[in-house]
Structure 1
Amino acid sequence: MAGSAIKSLRAKWRIWASCWVTAAVAAALLVAVGPDSAGAGGKRRWITDDQGRALVLNGLNTASSAKSEPNGMPWIKAADVQREKQQLGSNFVRFLIQWRNVEPRPGAYDETYLDQVAERVHWYGARGYHVMLDMHQDVYGPKTKGNGAPAWATQTDGLLVAEQDQWELKYIEPGTVRAFDHFWGTRQSSRNLRARYAAAWAHVAGRFRDDPAVIGYDLMNEPWGGSVQGAAFEAGPLAALYRRTLAAIREVDHDSWIFVEPEAVSTNWGLPSGLPYLKDPRGDGDRARIAYAPHVYPLPLDLGNGYSGDAKAWVRRTLGSWRTQTERTARRLNAPVVIGEYGIDATLPGALTYVAAVRRLAEEMGAGTAYWSNDPGPWSPWERTKRGGLRATRLLPVLDRPTPLAIAGEPDTYEWDATSRTLKVSWRGARRGVRGGTELYLPERHFPRGGRVTGGDVISWDAKSRILVVRSGPGKHRVRITPVPDTD
């Protein structure tokens, strides 16, 4: 594309973004400056495993390729999951599913599709992963030149959806806005689409409730309000859908975590969210299992910039604001945080530094992460060779980061210092009912001979999985892990 055309496209995107931001900020400030709702708690919450240990979830999204495949399946085979486990030590995957495949006709669920999902979930589960099932949509559905919703649930009233070089601009095409308005009930539809959506989720949850690999359900990827935006959308139609879907899922699955996302555009850029407290039917406080799963895509990166020059300063400010607003919303929801998406074209200037910065931010927040995505290419840890195989990109070593996986107690802090080659982890002793030790992932690239532990007792070290287990018990624990020297 010619340079002038790119500038024109970016100008159009900036104008739309600027208008949207002005409206969103005005609406969101009504929430941002007000008191946190009744669900707010003082302490940071954690997703826990079946031993009661706090989980530090890190992995990839699988996969963008599923969006365009008629059968909704990602490109992966079992061997690709094994490669990911060996090369990244991941313990988490955000696995994309789509409403169009779950419910191709009203009330008719495709069990063959769900069988194929279950097969792939098993690939992950057999390797110790925790799987989040994400009901994915972009630009509503295929009939609006996106993905997600089935044709029968897409009502555009004949309005057009034009192709756009920058795909996000399709969200503001008349046909897309109208389809969302019918879904949210802003305009009357021939069907109660929100009821059908909740029922579809209940069917999925009923299918996977007994699968130990499935940790929970991400109710909707990057919700978009159509003609209703900002806090009015999040506190209104979006919260209503979440409450309906929560109730439907809890009828069949009492225990899995349920992940909720804010409206994407505002929160991705570090603006406040108007999402209110959502009561979990299973109970309040520590009984509730609702997690907050925002994405982070700073606007300069959305516009195709790298993490350099003026854009770098803007992105750094965005990340600071994003953290403040995310932690505020998490307190309001009484929810742990998982960054459901973050990513960048790794060939851009400063891209690797940006990815490392987001991982450090997640460490400071105690948040899980799912990088976008595992599809081979410039955004991925892998790329295709001329012979069709896969080889590592420059991104892989950045994502292959030492980290705790499960902490047997109440985590305080954890941090990987690449300069001193030291992983520091501190926590308060095992809570009642917590079993097992604290598991730490030590990649071979940083710990070729394993780790030397200061301040703790080693239970076991597995050189194949690269997992070091440290004893936990009452009291405070502060451990430092450094590489075993070659002379030992």
Structure 2
Amino acid sequence: MRLHFYSLILLVGTYLLALTGCTSNNASAPPIWPSSVTINDGQFVDNLGRQVILNGINVVSKSKKDNYIFQSGPEFYQNLAGWGFNSIRLILIWDGLEPEPGKYDEEYLKEIDQRIKWAGENGLFVVLDMHQDLYSAKYSDGAPAWATLDEGATHLTGEVWSDSYLISPAVHTAFDNFWANNPAADGIGLQDHYAQLWKLLAQRYKDNKTVIGFDLMNEPFPGSVAQQAMPMLIGAYGNFVYEQTGEILDEMELATIWSGTEQRMEAIQQLNTEEKYASVIDALEPLVADFEKNQLQPFYQKVALAIREIDQEHILFLEHSYFSNMGIKSSIERTNLADGTPDALVAYAPHGYDLVTDTDYAAEASNHRVSLIYKRIKETGERLKMPIWLGEWGAFYSANEAITPVAQHAISQIETNLMSHAYWSYANGTEDLPYFKEAILRTYPASINGVIENYQNDFDNKTFQMDWTESDQSTAPTLIYSPNAKNLAPNDTYEIQLIAGSDAGWIIIPATGTNDKRAISLTFGN
């Protein structure tokens, strides 16, 4: 899921819920809720021509006994919509989809169909994600056993599950064989099987407007070349120490620093500015670039062409390398259509995690490191001229109040950089945790008539502000969700529609029919 501290070291339907407020019974009134999402001019846009911010959450089950389906009924999707989400990242597992070569599990697919239907009935758009962790269901989740060519190599585990990315020969070998497109027992290459599976999914959902796109692979990992990562990072850290203190540390001394939890954390805490952090992690940029250019990009192109044979309308979501989750610059490119022209319907789908994610030190995440990670993501999105959808971030889990400022800083960066996102992840009871109520549950613009320039929540002062340039090409209003809409003072410039039985609701700002600069500032009181 993410490269964390230990791994480094070790080697709108809710819109159609019952609403109260100043609703109109005029049958000729223009529609206001989006029914589809696409890309135009480097932005997510809805069918009414408005810019869209996807505010999402990951819905996932990695449990084979549950057939890789998050167990819930339709009320769960109704709740997500009531909490202001307008999208989900729905996890799919190759092992569940294709348990035998070329044979697909229709019952699993029907379960997926049902979740998509429930999502759509509640105004939630869906991105389908082909998920993997440690490549295979044999080690964690992902590929079926028949597609796991580990050549009998030993699988090693560490203190945390993702340590195996760096230390497991079996995981390395399985990835190496996948990137080489070596054949399964039926003689068909592993990537060819994978592309055919995506083609099947494209056929199934090509006319489905709830599904807005396909996340082609979760956190692509380079395989055995990753064994070079730890020595490179340790060397870069040694250089950092020398530049900061003049002290020269030999390999044994560096290894000792990273051998215990407290020493490791002390070392990480030294990387407490963007410049210091970059000076260490950027040592991996050549390794990441080589993988992304020579293995990942051709793979993306293969899968993209398979999908585009069937479906020319859905968005392709491209992730960067696993190692780029921690802020290393990505070298991925836009995929092309069969005639060689760039595919316009491609989004950049990075993940962003601080090094302390998944550890007992998660509440000590560095704002500076997180800011650099998000800055690098923004730079890559601008280079690619693609909308950014942060497909994973967070993984907070903790009920401790101490994690709330970390979550709020991450949200502030998502807002500052105008990213769409999907929080990782929902688990039963997440909605009761402090960080969810005080950061994830927030005011945000879902559909903007025009081009958004900036928006920001001030969590301390309970205010929200947004600036945008209105479009004269659409009559659809701007839609802002707020969990505190009930606390807003009356205002003749917008309409408030409250969700029944809730303090939450929608702020509906009528279109002006001009290209004017506009602004809104909201104060929610106590």
Q: TM-score, normalised by structure 1?
A: 0.81
Contact 2:183 2:190 in 1 (8 A): no
Q: Report the equivalent of 2:327.
A: 270
Aligned-pair distance for 1:160? 1.4
Partners of 1:301 and 1:12 lie apart in 2 by 9
Tell me the equivalent position of 1:467.
506
Deviation (angstroms), 1:478: 2.4
* CA contact 1:428–1:474 (8 Å) conserved in 2: no
What is the CA–CA distance in structure 2 between the aligned matches of 1:123 and 1:294, rounded to whole Å? 27
Cα distance in 1 for residues equivalent to 2:368 and 2:152: 42
Tell me which residue corresponds to 2:125. 130
CA–CA separation in structure 1 for the residues paired with 2:340 and 2:182:
34
| Among 142, 145, 149, the residue aligned to 1:151 | 145
Does the CA contact (< 8 Å) of 2:334 and 2:346 recur in 1? Answer: no
Q: 1:142 aligns with which of 130, 137, 142?
A: 137
Q: 1:395 to 1:188 in 2, by over 3 A?
A: same
- Offset, 1:484: 7.3
Structure 1 unmatched runs, 5+? 1-9, 18-42, 382-391
Question: Conserved in 1, the CA contact under 8 Å of 2:486 and 2:498?
Answer: no
Relative to 1, partners in 2 of residues 1:317 and 1:81: Cα closer, same or farther, differing over 3 Å? same
Q: 1:54: Cα distance to partner?
A: 1.1
Contact 2:165 2:172 in 1 (8 A): yes
Q: Secondary structure at the match of 1:321?
A: helix
Whether the 8 Å CA contact 2:470–2:518 is kept in 1: the answer is no
Q: 1:217 aligns with which of 202, 214, 217?
A: 214
Write the distance in 2 (CA, Å) between the matches of 1:425 and 1:62: 29
Task: Please point out which of 256, 259, 280 is paired with 2:317.
Answer: 259
Cα offset, 1:475, TM superposition? 1.8
Tell me what 2:481 maps to.
441
Separation in 2, partners of 1:348, 1:188 = 48
| Structure 1 residues 46-445: aligned runs within 5 Å | 46-63=43-60, 65-69=61-65, 71-86=67-82, 88-143=83-138, 145-172=139-166, 173-185=168-180, 190-228=187-225, 229-265=287-323, 267-280=324-337, 288-308=344-364, 312=365, 315-343=366-394, 344-348=396-400, 350-376=402-428, 380-381=430-431, 392-398=432-438, 399-430=440-471, 432=473, 434-443=474-483
> 2:334·2:384 contact (CA, 8 Å) conserved in 1?
yes
* Contact 2:485–2:498 under 8 Å retained in 1: no
CA displacement at 1:422 relative to structure 2 = 2.6
| Cα shift at 1:450 | 4.0
Q: Higher mean Cα deviation, 434-443 or 118-127?
A: 434-443
Contact 1:94/1:133 (8 A) holds in 2: yes
Rounded Cα–Cα distance in structure 2 between residues aligned with 1:73 and 1:361: 31
2:519 alignment partner, SS class: strand
The aligned residue for residue 36 of structure 1 is none
Mapped to 2, the partners of 1:328 and 1:100 lie a distance apart of 35
Letter in 1 for 2:112: V
SS at match of 1:216: strand
- So what's the TM-score if we normalise by structure 2? 0.75
Shift of 1:108: 1.8
Equivalenced residues, count: 425
Q: How far does residue 69 in structure 1 lie from its aligned partner after superposition?
A: 3.5
Q: Which has the higher contact order (CA 8 A, sep 6+)?
A: 2
Instruction: Rate the CA distance shift 1:459–1:452 in 2: closer, same or farther, 3 A.
Output: closer
Q: Give the deviation of 1:460 after TM superposition.
A: 5.7
| Deviation for aligned residue 1:150 | 1.2
3-state SS of 1:326 partner: helix
Percent sequence identity over aligned pairs: 29
Give the Cα separation in 1 of the matches to 2:159 and 2:468. 48
Contact 1:85 1:127 in 2 (8 A): yes
Structure 2 contact 220–321 (Cα < 8 Å) conserved: yes
Distance 1:319 1:284 in 2: 35
Question: Whole-Å Cα distance in 1 between the matches of residues 160 and 98 of structure 2?
Answer: 29
Partner of 2:391: helix, strand, or coil?
strand
How many angstroms does 1:281 deviate by? 5.6
* Alpha-carbon spacing, 1:12–1:369, altered in 2? closer, same or farther (3 Å): closer
Q: Post-superposition shift, 1:264? A: 1.6
| 1:437–1:192 Cα change, 3 Å | same
- Tell me if structure 2 keeps the 8 A contact 1:230–1:263: yes
Name the SS for the 2:122 alignment partner: coil
Change (3 A) 1:427 1:245: same
Counterpart AA for 1:81: Y
Distance in 2, Cα, partners of 1:290 & 1:259: 6
What amino acid maps onto 1:332 in structure 2? R
SS in structure 2 opposite 1:48?
A: strand
Counterpart of 2:409 in 1: which secondary structure? helix
User: Matched residue of 2:129: which SS?
Assistant: strand
Q: Structure 2 regions of 5+ residues with no counterpart?
A: 12-39, 226-286
What's the C-alpha RMSD, in Å, of the aligned pairs? 2.6
Q: Deviations over 1:70-107 (max 9, x none)?
A: 51211222122222222x21111010011112222222
For residues 128 and 5 of structure 2, what CA distance do their matches in structure 1 show? 36
Residue in 2 that maps onto 1:384: none
Q: Say which is worse superposed, 394-403 or 464-473, in terms of deviation.
A: 464-473
Checking the alignment, whether the CA contact within 8 Å between 1:45 and 1:336 is kept in structure 2 is yes
Are the counterparts in 2 of residues 296 and 341 from structure 1 also a CA contact under 8 Å? yes
Instruction: Tell me the distance in 2 between the aligned counterparts of 1:359 and 1:484.
Output: 18
> Would you say the 8 A contact 2:498–2:506 is kept in 1?
yes
Partner residue, 1:388? none
Conserved 8 A contact 2:328-2:376? yes
Q: What is the Cα deviation at residue 67 of structure 1?
A: 4.3
Post-superposition Cα deviations, 1:218-241, rounded to whole Å, max 9, x if no partner, equal 110111010245111111111111
Aligned twin of 1:458: 494
Cα deviation, 1:301-346, whole Å, max 9, x if unaligned, reads: 34431333xxx4xx22222221222122112322111111112132
After the TM superposition, which of the residue ranges 392-401 and 276-285 deviates more from structure 2?
276-285
Tell me which structure has the larger Cα radius of gyration: 2
